[in-house]
């Protein structure tokens, strides 16, 4: 999971990209980067947060009326510092000049190696969106039809999820263009302001830089924008869109919208349905900050149980996307404080978005009981996560899921409740989740393999079978 930005217009774009990157920092904390272009390539990228990578004015102020930016969350999950630096995006080639940023996961990399003689410079799967595209654009004068043709070729070769933004120039004029996978698993939207256009992973970017939302880019589509602001669009493959369930549950910020659906409203509705499906006798509803807040509001409104703040968050880091278990536990341990004045002698409904490994929730329950909470009833706004994601979320090993036994069987809610120290545990149902979102989504991680797009099910089952002894099934098929 990553955040991507592309901006083109009649003014320098580096400051707009810089501020946009802060707005999508929550989508990736491993590395950040920006590339602008004015006939010369100006690029800054490194491991770390946006504030660390762009720590000098000269790294922020760059010439060029066209550019792309990226915040990376490594789905390999095992990156060391050297690898994080090496795989930071944007990535680019010079012959032809082609740069790209990508959100998603390509899982048939080994197949792509047979259709290009170009050698990848990094281990990141953006190479398999960049190299074959460069082959198709090589020695061609760019125009929208040439770009559409190249994108169609690549789209029919790669498998997985992708919202990818490219920047290209064959000598006449540069183009900004983007391509989405046919199922539109990863979000991408278009905004505009005074003849300048922005493509972004989340609509909240447009509010930050004072742009107007225009539209969500459909699945299987290519959008091309030239320096004059002329837009060309073509839908190459049309299928039912299946946005990632986890975007609605965890990744997207509450002030964003995906396919017109408010993330805030969706999470509040999940909380309301959660109260119907799993009522509890309690004195207070307590959200896990900040991830459980909208769910807790909905649960409180529906149940009539008052909501209060019993947990204080001291850090603005997301434990799920930390690269190692040690770092996840450190973020949880150092990042939360518990209010005895609120929790002591109370029966509490603790509400959060999801449970993956159980790292967070176990420590939170213990912390609440340490300050005197009488009972802790856990309610979760996502069904049990039971299978790896091969489309861009860092859930790749069977052994990472608390909901799955070592023998592969699925645990009951009572078994999980005992493991995490809760007095009871209730997850939203798959039906409830679908009702709250309002349309079909990719739900392979909660309904394996049937929750994946039909054309991917055989592939992901092969990847799942290759996940031996809890090793990460990262090898491309």
Q: Is the peptide bond before 96 cis (omega within 30 degrees of 0)?
A: yes
What is the number of other CB atoms lying within 10 angstroms of the CB of residue 377? 21
Span 306-358, pLDDT tens digits: 999 999 988 665 554 455 545 455 545 568 999 999 999 999 999 999 998 89
Would you state the pLDDT for residue 429? 98
Instruction: Give the burial class of 468: count Cβ atoms within 10 A of its Cβ; 0-12 exposed, 13-18 middle, 19 or more buried.
Output: exposed
Kindly give, in sequence order, each residue whose CB lies less than 8 Å from that of residue 447, ignoring residues fewer than 6 positions away: 383, 430
Structure tokens given for 296 = 């807790």
Structure tokens given for 360 = 């967070």
Structure tokens given for 462 = 């092969």
- CB–CB of 186/118 below 8 Å? no
Would you state the pLDDT for residue 471? 37
As beta bridge partners, residue 198 has 7, 191
Would you state the pLDDT for residue 172? 86
Q: Is 2 a catalytic residue?
A: yes
Domains along the sequence of the chain with CATH: 2-241 (3.60.20.10), 265-470 (3.40.50.2020)
The rounded distance, in Å, linking the Cα atoms of 232 and 243 is 24
Report the sign of the C-alpha dihedral through residues 231, 234, 240, 246, in that order: negative
The rounded distance, in Å, linking the Cα atoms of 30 and 51 is 12
As beta bridge partners, residue 292 has none
Would you state the pLDDT for residue 77? 45
Annotated catalytic residue: which of 2, 109, 198, 244? 2
Nearest to 463 by CA among 405, 388, 401: 388
Residues of the chain with pLDDT under 50: 77-78, 320-321, 325, 327, 331, 469-477
Would you state the pLDDT for residue 215? 98
Span 387-409, pLDDT tens digits: 989 998 876 566 779 999 888 88
Would you state the pLDDT for residue 472? 39
| Radius of gyration from C-alpha coordinates of the chain | 22
Span 453-469, pLDDT tens digits: 999 999 999 988 887 54
Span 151-161, pLDDT tens digits: 999 999 999 99
């Amino acid at each position: 999971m990553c955040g991507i930005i592309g901006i083109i217009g009649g003014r320098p774009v580096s400051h707009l990209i810089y501020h946009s990157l802060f707005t999508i920092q929550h989508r990736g904390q491993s590395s950040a980067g920006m590339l602008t272009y004015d006939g010369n390539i100006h690029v800054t990228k490194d491991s770390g947060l946006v504030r660390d990578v762009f720590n000098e004015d000269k790294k922020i102020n760059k010439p060029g009326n066209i550019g792309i930016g990226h915040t990376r969350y490594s789905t390999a999950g095992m990156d060391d510092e050297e690898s994080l630096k090496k795989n930071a995006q944007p990535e680019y080639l010079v012959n032809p000049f082609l740069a790209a940023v990508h959100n998603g996961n390509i899982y048939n990399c080994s197949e792509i190696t047979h259709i290009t003689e170009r050698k990848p410079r990094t281990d990141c799967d953006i190479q398999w969106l960049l190299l074959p595209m460069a082959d198709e654009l090589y020695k061609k004068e760019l125009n929208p039809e040439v770009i559409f043709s190249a994108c169609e070729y690549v789209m029919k070769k790669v498998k997985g999820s992708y919202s990818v933004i490219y920047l290209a120039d064959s000598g006449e004029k540069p183009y900004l263009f983007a391509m989405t996978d046919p199922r539109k698993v990863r979000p991408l939207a278009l905004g505009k302001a005074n003849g300048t256009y922005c493509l972004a992973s989340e609509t909240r970017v447009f509010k930050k830089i004072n742009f107007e939302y225009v539209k969500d880019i459909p699945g299987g589509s290519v959008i091309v924008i030239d320096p004059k602001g002329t837009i060309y669009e073509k839908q190459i493959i049309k299928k039912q869109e299946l946005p990632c369930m986890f975007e609605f549950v965890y990744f997207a910020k509450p002030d964003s919208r995906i396919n017109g659906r408010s993330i805030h409203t969706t999470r509040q509705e999940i909380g309301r349905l959660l109260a119907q499906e799993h009522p509890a006798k309690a004195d207070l509803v307590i959200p896990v900050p900040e991830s459980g807040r909208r769910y807790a509001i909905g649960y409180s409104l529906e149940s009539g149980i008052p909501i209060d703040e019993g947990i204080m968050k001291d850090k603005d880091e997301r434990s799920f996307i930390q690269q190692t278990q040690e770092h996840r536990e450190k973020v949880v341990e150092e990042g939360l404080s518990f209010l005895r004045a609120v929790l002591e002698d109370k029966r509490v409904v603790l509400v959060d978005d999801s449970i993956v490994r159980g790292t967070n929730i176990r420590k939170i329950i213990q912390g609440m009981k340490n300050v005197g909470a009488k009972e802790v009833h856990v309610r979760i706004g996502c069904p049990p996560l039971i299978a790896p994601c091969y489309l861009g979320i860092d859930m790749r090993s069977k052994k990472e899921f608390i909901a799955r036994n070592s023998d592969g069987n699925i645990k009951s809610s009572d078994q999980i409740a005992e493991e995490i120290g809760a007095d009871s545990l209730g997850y939203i149902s798959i039906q409830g989740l679908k009702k709250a979102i309002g349309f079909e989504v990719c739900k392979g991680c909660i309904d394996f393999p049937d929750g994946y797009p039909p054309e991917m099910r055989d592939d992901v089952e092969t990847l799942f079978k290759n996940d031996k002894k809890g090793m990460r099934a990262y090898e491309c098929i």
